[in-house]
Amino acid sequence: MTQSADILIIGGGLSGTMLAVQLLRLPGPRSILIVEPRAELGRGEAYSAVEPGHTLNGNAARMSVDPDNPDDLTQWLSAHIAGGGWPESAAQAVPVSELFPPRGLFGVYVQQRLAEARSIGAQHGSSLVHLCAEVVDLQADADSVQLTLHDGRQVSGAFAVLATGMFPAARTPQKHSSGLNAAALDPWDVNAMRLLDPNSTVLIIGSGLTMVDAVVSLEQAGHRGPIEVFSRHGLLPHVRRQPPAWMDFLAADYSIRTPRQLLRELRRHCRDAIAQGVDWQAPLDTVRAHIARLWSQATDVQRRQFVRHVRPWWESHHHRSPPLSAELVERLRGEGRLRIQAASFKGLEPTANAGVSIRIRRRGETETCAMQGAALINSSGIEYDWRRVARPLPQQLLARGLVQPGPLALGIAAATDGAVLDAEGGKARRLFAMGPPLRGMWWESTAVTDVASQAKALAARLVI
């Protein structure tokens, strides 16, 4: 029999769970069904980590899932610690708002907020069901949306939301693959790393936040050998600090509209901050609230220029590393065990011996060379281009024209209210998207606060 609900949510990680929370909090009875292959809701890829060393990249004050209460995580964490939870936090002599909790603990926080929302929803007749399955296809007509699950079951609803979250390159089958994932270790699989010779050389592709996690994993696995990191620009994430407040110069001057104008003005404010003895991160952090507006009003040419020329530096300065992880990376670099090289990955090399061999081309050179190691880790970040994601649902939606790639092939295209646009640009009546799939629309559509705000707005739209 076909199971049905008022609202179908495809994906039960942070995005899907936050949407369910907002829907359950709204007055009026409604049935909500989340299709999520994991046994638990609220964790997804990002918050399924079990190692305490894998922490949030932002401190508690920046990671509230309640768009109406920026201190929600700080308050929850304070009560959790007071009740005997996370005793390791005592070693960090900072206020609770400045703590960087383990991602697994953040998942507990999200799940508790979901449990509270379910209780609120039950009071006015709302319900939430979790189907532990994967959606492999979707069809929509004038009156409803039908989902096909991996086991052949059918699910129908009045509306469906693509809350598929992120597709980490290290864990996502690629339609156009070099075989990297088949040969590489999972960056978060500490148990697999414990099987390595602790003194062996490990090769890592990519130098962003996933690389930082991989280095933490190696450290927790007891690895003591060399770590060779290769990325095109050789840039590392800066460490996240807690700078003082700075004037919101973008709110004061709406004439700043283009990426070039933004960079020029931002550099000026950073220079002024440094001259005053203020951390340069203070002016940079004021930009956060304006990213969606700046990105949406930019032309395609300006967006392309930003992605091509500015993105690596934006990522390293804006998406910063938690302090303890950054300290580990710097210590290993100082010891000479960790080396960062600006080089492009050109493919795997056959090898007759145990281990792996890759071919790279160092920046500024024309010839390639081979590098050998006992193991390889793919830390190239997130795959936002749905055309490259070899999962059934994205491929089916694209093949049948129900969705189209977003700007610059980042996620999928949608209207400002989250309604998905089909291959001809038509606005769907019953299919919506939120979170990482809307990266092309808003640029920063993956952070917790962005997802929480989108969830609130979309929930209100769905119950009109």
The domain segmentation of the chain, as residue ranges, is 3-54+102-167+384-462, 180-238+320-378, 249-318
Q: Tell me the C-alpha to C-alpha distance, in Å, between residue 419 and each of 114, 171, 251.
A: 24, 28, 28
Checking if the pLDDT of 138 tops 70, the result is: yes
Structural contact between residues 205 and 378, judged by C-beta atoms closer than 8 angstroms: yes
Alpha helices in 289-373, H assignment, sequence order: 291-297, 300-305, 311-318, 323-334
The identity of residue 364, as a single letter, is: G
| Arithmetic mean of pLDDT over the chain | 94
Checking if the pLDDT of 464 tops 80, the result is: no
CATH second-level architecture of 180-238+320-378?
Answer: 3-Layer(bba) Sandwich (3.50)
Structural contact between residues 197 and 225, judged by C-beta atoms closer than 8 angstroms: yes
Checking if the pLDDT of 176 tops 80, the result is: no
Q: What's domain 3-54+102-167+384-462's superfamily in CATH? A: FAD/NAD(P)-binding domain (3.50.50.60)
> How many residues appear in the chain?
464
Checking if the pLDDT of 49 tops 90, the result is: no
pLDDT band at 259 (very low <50, low <70, confident <90, very high): confident
- Give the separation between CA 94 and CA 417, rounded to whole angstroms: 40
Residue 328 main-chain phi, psi, to 5 deg = -65, -45
Report CA Rg, the chain.
Answer: 23
Query: Which residues contact residue 451 at a Cβ distance below 8 angstroms, ignoring those fewer than 6 apart?
Result: 14, 15, 18, 65, 434, 435, 445
Which residue spans within 185-292 are E strands per DSSP?
Answer: 202-205, 227-231
- Give the separation between CA 106 and CA 188, rounded to whole angstroms: 17
pLDDT band at 352 (very low <50, low <70, confident <90, very high): confident
- Give the separation between CA 172 and CA 295, rounded to whole angstroms: 27
Q: How many percent of the chain have pLDDT more than 90?
A: 84
Nearest in space to 291 (alpha carbons), one of 132, 441, 107: 441
Residue 315 CA from chain centroid, whole number: 12
